[in-house]
């Protein structure tokens, strides 16, 4: 009976060592901050508009019917802000996937090459809490790093 060769590595640690990961994280952070600033501006504008509406109402510049119409407009803008916040989260997730996809693809190619070159039947990710025990001699991280040039 032929022994099956199984290796393991810490995918999370490996990906954090890749130079591309730092650039992707930085780009994602800038993108998220831009969206956050846009949302904050929407909130600030809405607060300013609400303060102005309250002032006009207190001064008697709006009839009850006009106040009602303005409150409805205000509610729509609040809903738009809430929708923007949801969309912002989805946009950040999409951008993250877009930035990480080529990096993870590069790692996958390196892992497959190491597995083929060294006759590994399986290579398991140690960063997931599934492995209960692993011999250090089965760690293929150095081989994958060498394949990636890091």
Q: Residue 16: pLDDT above 70?
A: yes
For residue 95, the model assigns a pLDDT of 98
Over residues 60-72, mean pLDDT = 87
Q: Does a structural domain hold residue 58?
A: yes
Q: In sequence order, which residues have a C-beta less than 8 Å from that of residue 23 and are 6 or more positions away?
A: none
Q: Does a structural domain hold residue 15?
A: yes
Q: Does a structural domain hold residue 127?
A: yes
Q: How many folded domains does the chain comprise? A: 1
Q: Does a structural domain hold residue 36?
A: yes
3-state secondary structure of 118: coil
Q: Does a structural domain hold residue 1?
A: no
For residue 105, the model assigns a pLDDT of 94
- What is the SS3 assignment for 17-85? HCHHHHHHHHHHHHHHHHHHHHHHHHHHHHHHHHHHHHHHHHCCCCCHHHHHHHHHHHHHHHHHHHHHH
- Cβ neighbours of 60 (radius 10 Å): 7
For residue 82, the model assigns a pLDDT of 95
Give this prediction's pTM.
Answer: 0.74
Q: In terms of residue numbers, what domain contains 64? A: 6-148
Q: Does a structural domain hold residue 114?
A: yes
CATH number at residue 89: 3.30.910
CA 58 – CA 78 distance, rounded (Å) = 22
Over residues 103-123, mean pLDDT = 92
Calculate the average pLDDT of the chain: 90
Q: Residue 40: pLDDT above 90?
A: yes
Tell me the percentage of the chain whose pLDDT exceeds 70. 95
């Amino acid at each position: 009976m032929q022994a099956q060769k199984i290796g393991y590595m810490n995918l999370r640690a490996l990906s954090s060592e890749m130079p591309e990961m730092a650039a992707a994280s930085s780009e994602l952070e800038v993108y998220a901050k831009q969206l956050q600033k846009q949302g904050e501006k929407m909130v600030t504008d809405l607060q300013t508009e609400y303060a102005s509406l309250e002032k006009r109402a207190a001064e008697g510049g709006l009839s009850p019917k006009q106040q009602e119409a303005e409150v409805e407009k205000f509610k729509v803008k609040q809903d738009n802000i809430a929708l923007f916040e949801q969309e912002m989260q989805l946009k950040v997730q999409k951008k993250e996937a877009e930035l990480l996809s080529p990096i993870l693809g590069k790692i996958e190619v390196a892992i497959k090459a190491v597995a083929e070159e060294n006759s590994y039947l399986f290579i398991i990710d140690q960063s997931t809490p599934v492995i209960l025990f692993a011999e250090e001699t089965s760690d293929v991280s150095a081989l994958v790093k060498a394949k990636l040039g890091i």
